Amino acid sequence: MIRTRFLSTGFRVPDRVVTNHELEGMMETSDEWIRQRSGIEARRWAAEDETGADLAESASRMALEHAGMDATELDCIILATLSPDHFFPGTGVFLQRQLGVTDIPCLDVRNQCSGFLYGLSVADAWIRTGAYRRILLVGTELHSAGLDLSLRGRDTGVLFGDGAGAVILAPTEEARGVLAVKVHADGRHAETLWTDVPGCAHRPYITCADIEEKHHVPAMQGREVFRHAVKRMPEAVREVLGETGLPLAEVDMVIPHQANLRISQAVQKTLGLPDEKMYNNIQRYGNTTAASIPIALHEAVAEGRIGDGALVCLTAFGSGFTWGAALVRW
């Protein structure tokens, strides 16, 4: 039986650390509010000339190095982002070009915080059917170019951060790798967390008034997102466990999308997991949406908290609404 194995991980966050105290000088907020409501202490913001493809390239090069591979050995790229460098084409082809690769397919995934899991779901199917054998899956985000630091947008302005995480996936006949991956969506909540423009539902697709009225930056009903997130993530974790027949007690590490420390703590409580089985790094990076799971995965592996044979559960919830989970034998 062919399964999808993680060959390696890599990550990159921009050098500039933006603390909550620094934000206090830019907008009406406080370190105390941000810590209490989200657990975030700092986030990274990209330099003026840095792009999402640049962050993705650095994370990918690290993953390639850890796998002992050259970029030319890749046969597919899947890139997840909600903050693309351009309206079109997707960031995937820019990453491909920067890696010096040509001809291989580049799929751009637009599933926000669940983008990495949606990408993993597609990669897993492609690998198991033999379509591709070396897939680079990347989550990259450059939120700092589109944050709303006004009073209206301060709920999202303090949450989001920049960064990228990458993994290399390959087939294996061993009893390891992706054991189950499930993704879901409920479009009834599409406008609960969204960025309205630029968008071709409008004629023209963006106006000066849109920019003045801040329709081009994220708008969120935070409490509503919170309420659904704490329900859907445990549900998805139980679903992938149910699919494999493995008990929750056998899970060694849960890596939740880093949306809000309070959300992760609620998920942990619902599942009844001890602290050492829950990975959190939102304190340092904020919410990096599609990049948060691969960044956390990389750090957990680098810190030795995920070792050979560990049972790892990834779970996400975000805009769309979209959500899901994956169970991986490392």
Distance CA 308, CA 330 (A): 5
Residue 264, token pair as written in the block = 């992760």
For ligand UT7, the closer of residues 21 and 223 by Cβ is 223
Distance CA 258, CA 233 (A): 12
Binding residue count for ligand UT7, defined by CB under 6 A: 22
Q: Which residue is nearest to ligand UT7 (CB)?
A: 222
For ligand UT7, the closer of residues 229 and 325 by Cβ is 229
Q: Which of 66, 184, 287, 313 is catalytic?
A: 287
Our answer to whether residue 184 is catalytic in this structure is no
Nearest residue to 295 (alpha-carbon basis) of 260, 256, 321: 256
Does position 322 interact with ligand UT7 (CB under 6 A)? The reply is no
Q: Is 193 within 8 Å of 220 (Cβ atoms)?
A: yes
Our answer to whether residue 113 is catalytic in this structure is yes
| CA separation, residue 25 to residues 21, 29, 32, 114, 157 (Å) | 7, 9, 14, 32, 13
CB of 41 to ligand UT7, least distance (A): 14
Q: Which of 106, 113, 143, 313 is catalytic?
A: 113
Nearest residue to 326 (alpha-carbon basis) of 224, 178, 190, 211: 178
| Contact string 164-203 vs ligand UT7 (x = CB under 6 A) | -----------------------------x----------
Does position 51 interact with ligand UT7 (CB under 6 A)? The reply is no
Our answer to whether residue 287 is catalytic in this structure is yes
Q: Which of residues 269-288 bind ligand UT7 (CB under 6 A)?
A: 287
Stretch near ligand UT7 under the rule CB under 6 A, chosen from 117-125, 205-213, 259-267, 274-282? 259-267
Residue 311, token pair as written in the block = 């049972």
- Residue recorded with tokens 């969204």: 194
For ligand UT7, the closer of residues 32 and 65 by Cβ is 32
> Which one of residues 263, 267, 296, 300 is an interface residue with ligand UT7 (CB under 6 A)?
263
Q: Is 113 within 8 Å of 316 (Cβ atoms)?
A: yes
How does DSSP assign 86-133, residue by residue?
Answer: SSSS-HHHHHHHHTT--SS-EEEE--GGGHHHHHHHHHHHHHHTTS-S
Residue 284, token pair as written in the block = 């340092």
For ligand UT7, the closer of residues 202 and 223 by Cβ is 223
> Which one of residues 78, 95, 99, 158 is an interface residue with ligand UT7 (CB under 6 A)?
158
For ligand UT7, the closer of residues 96 and 281 by Cβ is 281
Q: Phi and psi for 50 in degrees, rounded to 5?
A: -90, 140
How does DSSP assign 223-273, residue by residue?
Answer: HHHHHHHHHHHHHHHHHHHHHHT--GGG--EEEE--S-HHHHHHHHHHHT-
Residue 176, token pair as written in the block = 């390891």
- The 10 Å Cβ neighbour count of residue 157 is 22
Length of the chain: 330
H or E segment and range at residue 315: strand 311-318
Q: Which of 257, 260, 281, 298 is catalytic?
A: 257
For ligand UT7, the closer of residues 64 and 233 by Cβ is 233
For ligand UT7, the closer of residues 159 and 255 by Cβ is 159
Does position 314 interact with ligand UT7 (CB under 6 A)? The reply is no
| Contact string 199-238 vs ligand UT7 (x = CB under 6 A) | -----------------------xx-xx--x---------
CB of 234 to ligand UT7, least distance (A): 14
Does position 40 interact with ligand UT7 (CB under 6 A)? The reply is no
Catalytic residues: 113, 257, 287
- Residues at the interface with ligand UT7 (CB under 6 A): 29-30, 33, 37-38, 113, 154-155, 158-159, 193, 222-223, 225-226, 229, 259-260, 263, 287, 289, 318
